[in-house]
Structure 1
Amino acid sequence: MNSFRLLHSIKRYSMSAHVWQGPGTHDKRSPCPALNALANHGYLPHSGENITKSQLARGLQEGLNASSLLANFLAYGGFNLLGKLLDKTINLDDLNQHNKCEHDASLTRKDFYFGDNHTVNPELVDLLLKQNIDRKIKEEPLSKLHWIRLNNSKEVNPTLLYKFKQKFLSAGESSLLLNFIGANTDLEIEIEKLEVFLKHERFPEGWRKPNKVVGIWPIISSLFSFLKRYDQLEKEQKK
């Protein structure tokens, strides 16, 4: 009987281990909705504290089906951008540091100049959702909103820093979003599901992690596609 109860408890735990639970008062979170969602679902420590490179890579693999190469590239790359490559651990709120991983003209966060660069801004999410094509978000709506946000920041943010690094990071984030959250739907995301993911940092009902392992080369290809579209939008604006 004891063995039966133990097996039942293990089974029940395995089924509920990744049920969404929002952050508590003292839990750490970042400007990245994907990392926050992984913590909220238990793929990363729910506290958001003392996360090792291997924990971060494993969370990306288990929660988003990233390949080992991509997961480790993102984990080690993130530590490196934060200047913590030699550190054993980071906290998610370490990513709040301005112009390291975080940057101005974010799709879902206000610029650092306005005081809170890490909490999701529902109005910005709504602005993104309004760019939808047939109630779906794909490359064009994401590129369009990036351009809207950048132009707005140029007008209202006197401390805006936007060079190739920030442009590259922005394109990379949009690429990761489509390739992870839109992997099973031809790199398109229904606006209802995207709203849940971005506003509540939870994996929406009916969504499944990618059926196929997400490798590094599709991410790079998509990233450069975004950069090309950014350049096209810039040329169109100058006409």
Structure 2
Amino acid sequence: MSETTERTSGTPTGVPELVNPAINQRIVSPWMFPLSGGWRMLSALGKLTFTILFILVLHTVDTAIFLVNLVWPSRSAEALVPGRYSPENPPPFSQRPLTWVLCCLESFLGDGLTPTWITYITHWEGIGHDGRWEHSFETPPQGEGAMWSRCPCPAINAMANHGIIPRDGRHITPIQLAAAVHNTYNLSLTLSIQLLAAFYPFYLERGWFDIEDLGGQGVIQHDGSFLREDVNSPWAFPTVIGTQARPSQRLIERYFPASNTKDYTWQNHSAILAHRRADSRNHNGTFVLNPLQYVFSSGNSALIHEVVGGKMHELRPWIGANEYGWEMHIDGFQPKCKQGWGMSILQLQIWTAIIELGAGSLSGPRFPYKNDIDAYQGWNADQAKAGAEVN
């Protein structure tokens, strides 16, 4: 008689079982419950310990990068976005010391022994090197059957539109995205890895994600965004409300109008955040912005300020104000952060705190806006003050 039968409906999943040959049924051994619970506890404790150690190591290394950047020479214009390199043709050590070391390591280990995460860092096609972007841009196909994936993050969308990551935006691995962000925007590897923490649940089990996964409300997208409409807004595109893939031209023209010729500073970003949050709260009956999302939105503004800069002719196309309505790098664009080891987590945190403190809180009752600050009117930080009350 077979000693294997189907699991009985009352047996808890994951609990060891025994077979009683006399009645050909599985039974649960009571003394195994403590062992099973203990194993789960040890497993959870091990994962927690690893996570804490990883965070400590990441931020310790990042602090070292921040300090080294204070004395290390800035990257030259041609080195901000590196040219094509591989283990057979590594970048100059003076420009990319860590990448050079990893290229040498892969050459020594060979394809069979080299971990995949190293391969993503040591291979680069050189797209955007020396500010050459024009011929790499493609717009996502539209209409029925279009399968390209996009998300609320302009930096990720721009990389997909230029082919730096797969153009369809699907099956992206975490280290693949981190390496692409590192080379495209001159962010340190520590910061590139840190940015992945926001959507960790999407790739935890399967090891990859589609970038549209980031469009879930409360992950990357949040109420009060100055580039995307709130999900319940009447101006949100019905076809992309689930992913918030495409930027809102209404909000772009409101906060980054073509008529504005001044360069934006961090004060402008603070004023934009303050106005947009108040506007969203006053017109969105389900408005939610938790403390983490406050920091996240200020961090986005800090990245724009430090990486893209404040010049309208570069900033507007990057956020989607162009004939295509999608994020792109204009020919000649180069990241504005020129640190020799890339922009660090600590540097981003400093700018995030500055911009968030400048934006202020949303305390106080809701109130209507004056007519000159209306949903259909253009607005920017040089022309109006956020939250003007009706007299």
Using structure 2 for the length normalisation, give the TM-score: 0.51
> Which residue is equivalent to 1:33?
154
Q: Does 1:69 align with 2:190?
A: yes
> Which residue is equivalent to 1:202?
328
Q: Please give the secondary structure, in 2, of the residue aligned with 1:51.
A: coil
> Aligned partner of 1:79: which letter?
F
> Which residue is equivalent to 2:198?
78
> Which residue is equivalent to 1:145?
272
Q: How does 1:124-163 map to 2 (within 5 A)?
A: 124-130=251-257, 135-163=262-290
CA shift in 2, pair 1:125/1:224, >3 Å: same
CA shift in 2, pair 1:23/1:106, >3 Å: same
> Which residue is equivalent to 1:215?
344
- 225, 228, 241: which one aligns with 1:106: 225
> What is the rounded CA distance, in whole Å, between the counterparts of 1:177 and 1:108 in structure 2?
12
CA shift in 2, pair 1:232/1:15, >3 Å: closer
Query: Number of matched residues?
Result: 219
CA contact (8 A) 2:170 2:211 kept: yes
> What is the rounded CA distance, in whole Å, between the counterparts of 1:132 and 1:217 in structure 2?
35
> What is the rounded CA distance, in whole Å, between the counterparts of 1:137 and 1:78 in structure 2?
27
> What is the rounded CA distance, in whole Å, between the counterparts of 1:237 and 1:105 in structure 2?
14
Q: Please give the secondary structure, in 2, of the residue aligned with 1:29.
A: coil
Q: Please give the secondary structure, in 1, of the residue aligned with 2:317.
A: helix
> What is the rounded CA distance, in whole Å, between the counterparts of 1:150 and 1:162 in structure 2?
9
Offset, 1:214: 1.5
> What is the rounded CA distance, in whole Å, between the counterparts of 2:258 and 2:353 in structure 1?
21
Offset, 1:74: 1.1
CA contact (8 A) 2:224 2:277 kept: yes
CA RMSD of aligned residues (A): 2.7
> What is the rounded CA distance, in whole Å, between the counterparts of 1:131 and 1:196 in structure 2?
11
Which structure 1 residue ranges, 5 or more long, are not aligned? 1-13, 183-188
> What is the rounded CA distance, in whole Å, between the counterparts of 2:280 and 2:265 in structure 1?
23
> Which residue is equivalent to 2:248?
121
C-alpha deviations, 1:2-59, integer Å up to 9, x for none?
xxxxxxxxxxxx5768611122232100001111001111221111000001111011
C-alpha deviations, 1:134-161, integer Å up to 9, x for none?
5212211111111121111112111110
CA shift in 2, pair 1:224/1:132, >3 Å: farther
CA contact (8 A) 1:53 1:88 kept: yes
> Which residue is equivalent to 2:139?
22
Offset, 1:84: 3.9
Which structure 2 residue ranges, 5 or more long, are not aligned? 1-124, 321-325, 365-385
> What is the rounded CA distance, in whole Å, between the counterparts of 1:100 and 1:232 in structure 2?
21
> Which residue is equivalent to 2:6?
none
Of Structure 1 and Structure 2, the greater helix share is in: 1
Offset, 1:203: 1.0
Q: Does 1:229 align with 2:358?
A: yes
Could you say which structure has the larger radius of gyration? Answer: 2
Higher mean alpha-carbon deviation, 104-113 vs 134-143, is at 134-143
CA contact (8 A) 1:51 1:91 kept: yes
> Aligned partner of 1:229: which letter?
G
Identity %: 22
CA contact (8 A) 2:150 2:157 kept: yes
CA contact (8 A) 1:129 1:137 kept: no
C-alpha deviations, 1:96-125, integer Å up to 9, x for none?
101122101101110011253332011211
CA shift in 2, pair 1:156/1:65, >3 Å: same
Using structure 1 for the length normalisation, give the TM-score: 0.82
CA contact (8 A) 1:43 1:62 kept: no
